[in-house]
Amino acid sequence: MPGLLSSPVCLTVIWFLSWSLHLSCAQVWTYEVSAVQYGRLESNVTLACGKSQIRTPVVWHLNHSSALPWHRVASDGTLVLLHVEHTAQGVYSCYDNQGLLLHSVKLRLGHPPGLLSVSCQVPNHTHVRCSWVESVKTFLPAQYNASFRGNGQEWRPCVLDVARKHCDVDHPAFWQTIHTLRITETNGLGSETTYVRFRLHELLKPDPPESVLVKDLEGYPKRLIVSWEIPSSWPLHDAFPLIFQIRYRPQGSAYWSEVYSEESPVVIFDALAGYVHQVQIRARDEVNAESQWSEWSPLLLVRPWEAYSTPDPTEDLPPDATDYFFPFNAKPENATEKSHNPELEGDGNLGLVILLVLFSVVILITVLSLIYVVWVRQQRRDHVTKQELTSMVKMKSMPI
Ligand SMILES: *[C@@H]1O[C@H](CO)[C@@H](O)[C@H](O)[C@H]1NC(C)=O
Ligand SMILES: *[C@@H]1O[C@H](CO)[C@@H](O)[C@H](O)[C@H]1NC(C)=O
Ligand SMILES: *[C@@H]1O[C@H](CO)[C@@H](O)[C@H](O)[C@H]1NC(C)=O
Ligand SMILES: *[C@@H]1O[C@H](CO)[C@@H](O)[C@H](O)[C@H]1NC(C)=O
């Protein structure tokens, strides 16, 4: 038997049987999934029981259950679902009166596509990104097709990223005043094309400046120095210069002061001495007056230099922390110093008290011994008798 099982012929037969079994399973499966019918929500949907006309009465099942949504069955066996809702989705099967499966179809319900709401971003002269939002929720898988052209030019594809709902065009013809984007959305119930016309030079909006830094200027209580890098999405060469707007105000004030500059860094000369300031910066194409300002860079906080008499420890902090958070660091430092001092003083006092007590005890003992010695000598000189000696012994045993 083992010899027979391992023989090449037997193995081939086993392989062929398992392969054909697998294939037939796959065919059933693809049959069920590929036969998809789409229907509009809240409409009447008609499902035919196969292609040929069937005379005999048929039975319909949804997901292998005879419970069907609101419906009627026509004389030719077609099923009409009335005013369908989401819950009517599933696999519909029709059987003849002997229980033989005649046809099976998967029903998916939704809406045909509507117009898209499109917006385009132009972060530099060589790039356009258009994103869209559906105005109708279709509940169905969709395909998109997008193309782009300048006035009177050929359509070019706008490269799609369907998952993120945007498409990109590189090197658009910037010298053309008007451009058109065309996006077609297609699903099982239809398709809709949206056209958008726009002027690239009006949409041009750089990204905000990067690596923005604000510092105080040592020795100048009313000055701040602001530095930054041009946005990394903006070309470096001088063909497309940017103009920068810096705004600043003391924290809590409602009014901004502004400075314009073509280059980093910029010195602010009129900061309010002793106050924390908020500082932001944004950029715009300098040549094209119709283009847009970038968003503001994130808010930075800084306090101008002050003639502090506090010692140096803050200099050991990283420069950023000193720039932006110096006032906040200063307080806790003073507080800890103060809280340490009383403790130190307490220790010193205690030592001194102990020293004084010990010293006075030593002096007391010395004085008492001297008095005793003097007294003993006096006694010896006066009465050197045995009786008196015994009385002296009594005296010695007395506590001092
Ligand atoms: C759906 O069918 C019902 C009954 O046949 C009918 O009254 C109704 O008008 C139909 N609705 C639509 C949207 O066709
Ligand atoms: C039928 O099955 C599908 C999944 O195949 C499910 O989404 C649907 O809700 C089911 N329909 C009903 C009425 O149970
Ligand atoms: C996309 O649109 C272009 C131009 O209209 C057309 O030639 C192409 O077949 C479309 N592709 C798809 C997948 O619809
Ligand atoms: C223009 O912006 C896009 C998107 O941010 C970027 O990928 C591209 O490199 C930028 N072009 C230049 C010349 O910097």
Mean of the per-residue pLDDT values for the chain?
Answer: 79
User: Which atom of ligand 1 is nearest the CA belonging to 42?
Assistant: 13
* pLDDT value for 236: 85
* pLDDT surpasses 80 at 149: yes
> Which architecture, in CATH terms, is 116-203?
Sandwich (2.60)
For residue 165, how far is its CA from the centre of ligand 3 (angstroms)? Answer: 17
Closest CA to 113 of 194, 37, 2: 194
Closest ligand 1 atom to the C-alpha of 80? 2
Q: Give the side-chain half-sphere CA count within 13 A for 233.
A: 19
CB 83 within 8 A of CB 70: yes
**What is the C-alpha separation between 314 and 351, in angstroms, rounded?**
34
Same fold, 23-110 and 210-321: yes
CA of 143 to the centre of ligand 3 (A): 11
Q: To which residue do tokens 């029709």 refer?
A: 94
Distance 332 CA to ligand 1 centre (A): 77
pLDDT recorded at residue 55 = 63
128 Cα to the center of ligand 4, angstroms: 9
What residue's CA is closest to ligand 2, atom 14? 63
The pLDDT of residue 374 is above 60: yes
Instruction: Give Cα 51 distance to the centre of its chain.
Output: 54
Helix (H) or strand (E) holding 261: strand 257-261
pLDDT band of residue 216 (cuts 50, 70, 90) is very high
Read off the pLDDT of each residue in 118-147 and give the average, rounded to a whole number: 94
- The percent of residues above 90 in pLDDT, for the chain, comes to 54
Please give the pLDDT value at position 171.
92
Q: Confidence band (pLDDT; 50, 70, 90) for 357?
A: confident
Measure CA 305 to chain center.
34
169/346: higher pLDDT: 169
92 C-alpha vs ligand 2 centroid, how far in Å? 10
pLDDT of residue 75: 79
Whose tokens are 């910037």? That residue is 174
> HEC profile for 189-239?
CEEEEEEEEECHHHHECCCCCEEEEEEEECCEEEEEEEEEECCCCCCCCCC
Determine the pLDDT at residue 14.
42
Q: What is the pLDDT of residue 336?
A: 35
Q: Which phi and psi angles does 201 have, rounded to 5°?
A: -70, -20
**Taking residues 253-271, what's their average pLDDT?**
95
Q: Which of 233, 237, 285, 294 to mutate to test the pocket of ligand 4 (most atoms within 8 A of CB)?
A: 233
Looking at residue 131, its pLDDT comes to 96
Q: Mean pLDDT over residues 7-13, rounded? A: 47
Ligand 4 centroid–CA 263 distance in Å is 21
Highest mean predicted confidence (pLDDT) among 107-116, 306-315, 391-400: 107-116
Query: Is there an atom of ligand 2 within 6 Å of 87 CB?
Result: yes
| 93: DSSP letter | E
Residue 209: is its pLDDT beyond 70? yes
> Which pLDDT score is estimated for 199?
93
Give CA–CA dist 201/292, Å, rounded. Answer: 9
- On the 0-12 / 13-18 / 19+ scale of CB atoms within 10 A, 379 is middle
Q: What is the token pair recorded at 163?
A: 């998952």
Nearest to 149, CA basis, from 179, 178, 125: 179
The CATH code belonging to domain 210-321 is 2.60.40.10
What pLDDT is stored for residue 49 in this prediction? 85
Q: Whose CA is nearest to atom 10 of ligand 2?
A: 90
Q: What is residue 305's predicted lDDT score, i.e. its pLDDT?
A: 94
Atom from ligand 1 closest to the CA of residue 44: 1
Residues 45-80 have pLDDT tens digits of 999 887 766 667 888 999 888 888 888 888 788 899
Residue 11 has a pLDDT of: 45
Would you say 139 and 41 are in contact if contact means Cβ atoms under 8 Å apart? yes
Q: Ligand 4: does its nearest atom lie under 6 Å from the Cβ of 274? A: no
User: What average pLDDT does this structure show over 87-111?
Assistant: 91
Pick the CATH number of 23-110 from 2.40.30.10, 3.40.50.720, 3.10.129.10, 2.60.40.10: 2.60.40.10
What pLDDT shows up at residue 349?
64
- What global pTM score does this model have? 0.65
CA-CA distance, 27 to 141, in Å (whole number)?
Answer: 24
Of the two residues 328 and 265, the one the predictor is more confident about is: 265
pLDDT for position 355 = 74
| Model confidence band, residue 29 (pLDDT cutoffs 50, 70, 90) | very low
How large is the average pLDDT for residues 247-255? Answer: 95
Q: Could you read off the pLDDT of 307-338 as tens digits, one per residue?
A: 865 554 444 444 444 444 433 333 333 333 33
With a cut of 90, say whether residue 221 has pLDDT above it: yes
List all residues 6 or more positions away from 307 whose beta carbon is below 8 Å from its beta carbon. Answer: 221
Provide the phi-psi class of 308: left if phi over 0, else alpha when psi is between -120 and 50, else beta. beta
**Is residue 258's pLDDT more than 80?**
yes
> Which residues, 6+ apart, have CB-to-CB distance to 391 below 8 Å?
none
CA angle at residue 181 from 176 to 187, to 5 degrees? 170
For ligand 4, whether the C-beta of 123 sits within 6 Å is yes
Letter for the amino acid at 81? Answer: L
Domain ranges of the chain: 23-110, 116-203, 210-321
Distance CA 183, CA 191 (A): 10
pLDDT(346) > 50: no
